[in-house]
A and B are shown apart, each in its own frame.
Chain A
Amino acid sequence: MTEDLLPALAARAAAAAHARDPACPCTAATLVHREDTTVVRHAVAVAKAHPAETDTAELAVRTAVAARLPGILLPPLTPAPAELHGRPVTYWPYGMPVGPDDPDAAPWEEAGVLLARLHRTPLPEAVPPMRGPEKAARAVALLGDLAPRHPAAAPVLDAWADLPPWARGEAPAPGPVRLCHGDFHLGQLIRDRAPGGPWLLIDVDDLGAGPPVWDLARPAAWYAVGMLDPDAWHLFLTAYRAAGGPAVPPDGDPWPVLDVPARALTAQTAARAVTKAAAAGRPLDEVEEWLVDACARMRSVPAAAPAD
């Protein structure tokens, strides 16, 4: 079925592009082709086939939210998901991604502002829960299933086991919920192709109601582990606060709030890395070791308890 999907999806993307631009240059590319997700581009249009098990009603709500928040989220080309080979399909305008070779040039400030604006949006009616903790739980469970005897598995599984139930996706988060992206990383930012066009957030698959601090916690984890330039982290956090982002107090130490979700996202990233390395039969590389080392240190440092 996956073999049939790709050409069919490419044809749909072409049709979407030609509807918008009769003089289409017909440049086409497969942007993502994984077992569960396929994304193809045809000039100005992008078609995304979501995982077969996607709840289509929830996806429709999430896509509708994107349509209603221009300037924050990329609006879809068509309001409702379609269906193709048993997979929900959505259509989007093509935008320029962040250059993968230069994370320092990433729009950290703009990202902070976009997330602050997203979190300040009144929570749309009927929006499903944000799926971040659930996906982290899945990554850690996969490590436990596939590579439990890998020497790096124990520190990651222990760090995860020490987390409170909400961060493992087993209970609702304490504190107020907001509209969250749910899976923020640098691949989730695109820029309108017009010169100087604004940056926008993409990928609504995990969007929903949840603790907004989750969206800050992945960059926080990268910074804590030593992967992210302190200046980039500072820019991102400062811009988020200046834009009135509600996830952290407006000044002072943000770590009492960031600590638990940053631990969870460090464990998730470490779990993915160890699972992949084990499957490939290769040793962990240096960055992957940093993630596992950070997990190993967590047990000796009690988790912060936020004031509320």
Chain B
Amino acid sequence: MSILQIKNLHVSVETDQGPKQILRGVDLTIRNGETHAIMGPNGSGKSTLAYSIAGHPKYEVTEGEILLDGENVLEMSVDERARAGLFLAMQYPVEIPGVSVSNFLRTAKTAISGEAPSIRGWVKEVRESMDALRMDSAFTERNVNEGFSGGEKKRHEILQLSLLKPKFAVLDETDSGLDVDALKTVSEGVNRAKEANDLGVLLITHYTRILKYIQPDFVHVFVAGQVAEQGGPELAERLEAEGYDRYVRA
């Protein structure tokens, strides 16, 4: 059993006008195998939550806690968090010129598991994961995220998810910029990772369409840096019909 607890989380971000408060007391508990959808209008703090969990230096936690199986995540560096079992699928993954996907994947796997994977087994595992995500094998020769289409970037993020086998994955708007076919492929990849590793998922999205492919157990509506409402999958259906207007106006 694994558990990720977010307690009374307050986060501010540094801006040109000084620090700006984004999260104002977020409480969430995710167990392995569970899928939680975080939905909300633009600017409600969804991505800030994602980056705060991963430890991006731009975001400062001013109050509250993040615990992974009781361990204080906020005291860990970015890479320590990843090695502890947290994964962030990024909305805008950055290019790393001159570093091939295959070099990057092998380096990450080695870092996470503490030893280099056996070459033959690793190559096979990468190939199988890529096949399942309908990625061409030549993809590994390309430089990380360089010249990738929106769909290729998202597939590459989910490829890492399936290979690095974290305990919890935060998917930051993984559905944005994907056509229906790509959305389906990527969602299947997430579902496979859930099944294979009993992964806990925090699915951050603006739209409900990805929830047709990745079934949430819980839905949390984010407004102005707080959870405004939570419920089961039926809440997503209601948002689909009504939008976020009633929260924003309230």
A, B co-complexed: no
Which residues of A are at the interface with B, using a C-beta cutoff of 8 A?
Answer: none
